[in-house]
Amino acid sequence: MAKGIIIDKSKSKEEIYRIILPQLRALMENENDLIANMANMAAVLKMSFDFFWVGFYLVKNETLILGPFQGPIACTRIPMGKGVCGQAWEQKKNIIAPDVSLFPGHIACSSDTKSEIVVPKIIEHRVIFILDIDSDILNFFDEIDSHYLPKLIALI
C-alpha cells in the first residue's frame, strides 16, 4: 500500500487497529485534503478487516452525501434520522446495528449487509461527516470497533 502501510491479518482485531493507527497518522500528517484522507482511510480499513463496505458520508445542505468509499454501489443521499447513518448523525453518537434487519428504519443499500457501525465526526457540536462500515456477518461489530474507529477519524 501507499507509504508502506503494513497489515497483518493474522492478528486480532484490536491488534490490527493498534498497528494501523500510527501508520494512518503518518500517512495523513502531511495531507490536509479531506477527500484524499477519507479515500485512503476507507482503503486501509477495507483491506485490513475485509469489511463488506467502508465509506464516508459528508453533511451537505442538511443531508448526508456519499463520499469516498470501498465496496459495492451505495446510497447517495441519506436524510437526518433515517437508517443507522441518519440516526447516528441526529444523535451525534456511534451506533452499532448487530442485525440491520432488526434496526428500525434501516436503509437497505445492499441486501448483503448484515451488521453495521456508524461513527460521526463532531466538531464544535456539529457532525461534519460520518464513517459507515458494513459487514456481511451478523453481530460483527463490538466495543473494540467503537473504541478505535473514533481515534481513526480523529486523524482526518
DSSP string, 127-138: EEEEEEEEESST
- The per-residue pLDDT for 5 is 72
pTM given for the model: 0.92
In total, how many domains does the chain have? 1
Average pLDDT in the chain: 92
Contacts of 51 (CB under 8 A, 6+ apart): 45, 70, 71, 133, 134, 135
For residue 66, count CB atoms less than 10 angstroms from its CB and return exposed for 0-12, middle for 13-18, buried for 19 or more: middle
Q: Which domain holds residue 93?
A: 2-153
pLDDT at 3: 52
111 or 39, greater pLDDT: 39
Phi, psi of 141 (to 5 degrees): -90, 150
pLDDT at 42 over 50: yes
In 4-60, which ranges are E strands?
53-60
Tell me the CATH number at 106: 3.30.450.40
Which residue did the predictor score with more confidence, 64 or 110? Answer: 64
Check whether 2 has a pLDDT greater than 60: no
Task: Enter the C-alpha cell of residue 141.
Answer: 461489530
